[in-house]
Amino acid sequence: MNQPAVAATTERPQIILKTPLHHIHHVAYRCRDAEQTRWFWEEVMGFPLRMAMVFDDEPGSGRKIDYMHLFFEMGDNNFVAFFDSPDDNINESTFTARHGFDLHIAFECDTLEELKAWRRHINKMGRPCFGPIDHGFIHSIYMYDPNGIQVEITIKAEKYAEICAHETEGAREILKDWTAKTRERKLQKFGAEALDMRGIDMGKVDMSKVKVDIKPHHKPE
């Protein structure tokens, strides 16, 4: 059996900056239609539309293309964002419901009552919503946005901290065992070169048209 090129470590990862990155500013997806997307994220999910910016060239490449970049604000002031780009070479299949393993986004609420109230509200808005599903450490309900993105709302289980602490203790060892157990199946599917690389092969990415134009808001210290 081939061994992974990079051995699993039991040491804590080195934190190279003084402050770890602390939250998501935004996640961004492609949408079929800005207004359809606004309906779901604003009226069903309750995230107000904060920005609907229209551009006619792609940042970096300068490619001429009309698109809108939309931002909906979550309860913690961060954003779920979308691109509406009608002239891109996409079709309806881009927006088929993605399997939860491929793509989903989870938001947190505080109590089981709130979670059930969310399910009732979402169903009332005409969107199928299922759950709560008991995952042990969290309980979740699920639905889809109009762009095929699975959306989850979750609450922490009563023993959340205890369960997470227990899982954290064994995580590196469990991952190591899993990697060894599944390696052969993955070698057959992906090959050793793909499996052992760290990052994608940039030799196959055309960066020639990318212009770097960073204007820092703060002077470096």
Stretch that binds Fe ion, among 39-47, 55-63, 74-82, 145-153 (CB under 5 A): 145-153
Stretch that binds Fe ion, among 9-17, 100-108, 157-165, 183-191 (CB under 5 A): 100-108
Question: What's the distance, Cα to Cα, between the start and end of the chain in Å?
Answer: 50
Shortest Å distance, C-beta 106 to Fe ion: 4
Shortest Å distance, C-beta 73 to Fe ion: 21
Handedness of CA 19, 24, 28, 29 (dihedral sign): positive
What is the CB neighbour count within 10 angstroms for residue 12?
7
Q: Which of 24, 27, 105, 106 binds Fe ion (CB under 5 A)?
A: 106
Q: Which of 58, 152 has the CB closer to Fe ion?
A: 152
Shortest Å distance, C-beta 85 to Fe ion: 28
Shortest Å distance, C-beta 135 to Fe ion: 8
Strand-by-strand arrangement of the 79-84 sheet:
26-30, 79-84, 64-73, 49-57
Nearest residue to Fe ion by CB is 106
Stretch that binds Fe ion, among 6-14, 144-152, 182-190, 200-208 (CB under 5 A): 144-152
- Give the start-end residues of each E strand in the chain: 26-30, 49-57, 64-73, 79-84, 104-108, 130-134, 138-144, 150-156
Stretch that binds Fe ion, among 59-67, 85-93, 105-113, 141-149 (CB under 5 A): 105-113
Q: What Å distances lie between residue 217 and 19, 71, 210, CA to CA?
A: 19, 21, 21
Shortest Å distance, C-beta 74 to Fe ion: 16
Q: Which of 147, 154 has the CB closer to Fe ion?
A: 154
Q: Which residues contact 77 (CB under 8 A, 6 or more apart)?
A: none
Rounded CA separation 72/81 (Å): 6
List residues binding Fe ion (CB under 5 A). Answer: 106, 152
